[in-house]
Amino acid sequence: MKKTLTLSRFSFILLCFLLAGSLSFGQSKVMESLSFNSKILNTDIRYSVYLPDGYDHSERLYPVVYLLNGFTGDERDWIQFGDVQRLVDHEVEAGNLPPMIIIMPDGDDRLYMNKADGSYNYQDMFMEELIPTVENAYRIRKEKQFRGISGLSMGGHGSLLLGIKYHNMFGAIAAYSSAVVTEEDLLQTEQRSYNNYWGRSIGRGLKGSERLTEHFHANSVMSIVKTKNVDDLNSVRVYFDCGDDDFLAIGNASLHIAMTRRGVNHEYRVRDGVHDWKFWRESLPTGLKFIARNFTR
């Protein structure tokens, strides 16, 4: 009897060990607030990473999505408020998304643009340092087809701006409640609001038509859509959405009209909602599935 109890206890312990191993094997992983030193900006740049189920136990290369935060946010927002790990895990397990790596850099409230006076070239850092750094650090496919970009609000504008401006780098864009403005919107923006937001990159203190600078047009999604070669624009797949009660609804609708008039292929959706995390959590799975169409055949 004593021998039988000992074997049973051993078997139970072994079973627990094996179960624990199976539960930890291949689970997705999120690493918050990693950093690298930027020579362009002469400072450390923080970013968070989502690694898919099985990453630590395989040698395969994965597609990547750069997921951008909004104004006053940082590299932790999509993890803390966007519930990115749970949402992506659910869609992958359901077979709606392929495994992918997600990079969430700190947008630093720089509008994903260079500063007009050249003193803080965030956009150059993003394209010339951030992307090569993370794509060499993780097993990421480096072809355009397997690189997507997405984001909310300021990050929605950033994903549209970077994705369209650097059309040879990105295969697809998914933007939510994007901070897209028309020239009229910019001219009518109250001075304090302008200085606190657009002024960070275009230049503070500008009034009226002074704001419509060459730098603004070079980084305005609306301006780029109206002037860039249509074939280049159509080389990137574009999805964007906005809530019907969002204060940015007019800018997003105007972008839809401008793209339609020029024959730029895109998908645009309006849903019930405002400028909040509830809307963006609902948008994320749809946007990632749109991007992921590039990853599979």
In a domain, 216, yes or no: no
In a domain, 192, yes or no: no
In a domain, 158, yes or no: yes
Instruction: Provide DSSP, 63-111.
Output: -EEEEE--TT--TTHHHHTS-HHHHHHHHHHTTSS---EEEEE--TTST
pLDDT attached to residue 292: 98
pLDDT attached to residue 297: 77
In a domain, 203, yes or no: no
CATH number for 49: 3.40.50.1820
Least confidently predicted of 6-10, 107-111, 152-156, 219-223: 6-10
Domain range enclosing 123: 26-180+222-292
| pLDDT of residue 221 exceeding 70 | yes
Q: What does the pLDDT look like over 185-219, one tens digit per residue?
A: 999 999 999 999 999 999 999 999 999 999 999 99
In a domain, 43, yes or no: yes
- What secondary structure, in 3-state letters, does 204-264 show? CCCCHHHHCCHHHHHCCHHHHHHHCCHHHHCCCEEEEEEECCCCCHHHHHHHHHHHHHHCC
User: What is the percent of the chain with per-residue pLDDT over 70, rounded to a whole number?
Assistant: 91
In a domain, 164, yes or no: yes
Angle at alpha carbon of residue 108, lines to 205 and 228, rounded to 5°: 75
In a domain, 65, yes or no: yes
What is the total count of domains within the chain? 1
Q: Tell the residue number behind the tokens 């803080």, with chain if given.
A: 120
In a domain, 155, yes or no: yes
pLDDT attached to residue 23: 38
pLDDT attached to residue 52: 98
User: CA 150, CA 63: separation in Å to the nearest integer?
Assistant: 14
How many angstroms separate the first and last alpha carbons of the chain? 60
- Report phi then psi at 71, rounded to 5: -60, 135
Q: What does the pLDDT look like over 52-100, one tens digit per residue?
A: 999 999 999 999 999 999 999 999 999 999 999 999 999 999 999 999 9
- Report phi then psi at 168, rounded to 5: -80, -10
pLDDT attached to residue 296: 87
Please classify residue 183 by burial: count the beta carbons closer than 10 Å to its beta carbon, then call 0-12 exposed, 13-18 middle and 19+ buried. Answer: middle
- Do 47 and 129 form a contact (C-beta atoms < 8 A)? no
Q: Is 284 helix (H, G, I), strand (E, B) or coil?
A: helix
Q: Among 287, 293, 296, which residue's Cα sits nearest to residue 84?
A: 287
pLDDT attached to residue 9: 56
What average pLDDT does the segment 271-277 reach? 98
Q: What does the pLDDT look like over 152-198, one tens digit per residue?
A: 999 999 999 999 999 999 999 999 999 999 999 999 999 999 999 99
The pTM of the full predicted model, rounded to 2 decimals, is 0.91
